[in-house]
Each structure stands twice: as C-alpha cells, then as structure tokens.
Amino acid sequence: DTEVTQTPKHLVMGMTNKKSLKCEQHMGHRAMYWYKQKAKKPPELMFVYSYEKLSINESVPSRFSPECPNSSLLNLHLHALQPEDSALYLCASSHGQGGRQPQHFGDGTRLSIL
C-alpha cells in the first residue's frame, strides 16, 4: 500500500466540467508534487509545493489549478480540459530537504476527457 493516497482512482469528464483531484499524505512531508504521465512515457512535472507555497509551475495551462490547503493535502482543480489532457495524474511527496530525500508517489488518478 502506498503512503500517498489519491482520489478518485478514475475520472471521466466532459470538456465543460469542473472536477478536482485530491492527494493526501501523513508522512510529515513538506514538499508535494503533481505529475502528468501519458501512456508509455515518463512522468512530467507540473507543479511543486514547498511548505504549502507554490514553488514550481512548469508552464502548465491555466485550466489546471493547484491548491495546497495544508501540509497534508494537495488538490488539482480541473476546468475546461481538452482531450489531450487525458492521462495518469500522479501525486508525490518528499521531505524536501535539498533534493536528497526521494519522492514517494501515489497510485494516480486516471483521467479521461470526453
């Protein structure tokens, strides 16, 4: 079992819908990450939160909106997505100590855009 929990596991939405992906960890980690992974590809970093502040935004379209309500929770709000946004969305967390601590990944949310 993973220590990073993501919900829902699967999500199907239309291009006009608004939905949110949720991620939770209780390891005391202070850095949390969103990745996008297309089939047969490595994960691509989207956002990083460090101590609940957005520290990295990899030029992600504004239809993806991250939120970190507290040190244990990370959300990704979705609005007006495109079919090409269909992918596995992975959340990860780490102690954030200068990159020395590895990232721990959740099992992801598989998103399908109709």
**Which residues here bind another protein, judged by CB under 8 A?**
2, 4, 6, 31, 33, 40-43, 45, 48, 50, 55-56, 90, 92, 94, 96, 98-100, 102-108, 110
Closer to another protein by Cβ: residue 46 or 78 = 46
- Minimal distance in Å, beta carbon 11 to another protein? 14
Q: Which is nearer to another protein, 28 or 42 (CB)?
A: 42
Closest CA to 72 of 51, 44, 56: 51
The residues, ordered by sequence, that sit 6+ positions from 2 with a Cβ below 8 Å of its Cβ are 104, 105, 106, 107
Report how far residue 5's alpha carbon sits from residue 76's, in angstroms, rounded to the nearest whole number: 14
Nearer to another protein, 19 or 104 (CB): 104
Residue in the structure block whose two tokens are 């957005």: 54
Q: Nearest Cα to 112, choosing from 74, 84, 92?
A: 84
Residue with Cβ nearer another protein (73 or 80): 73
CB 100, min distance to another protein, A: 6
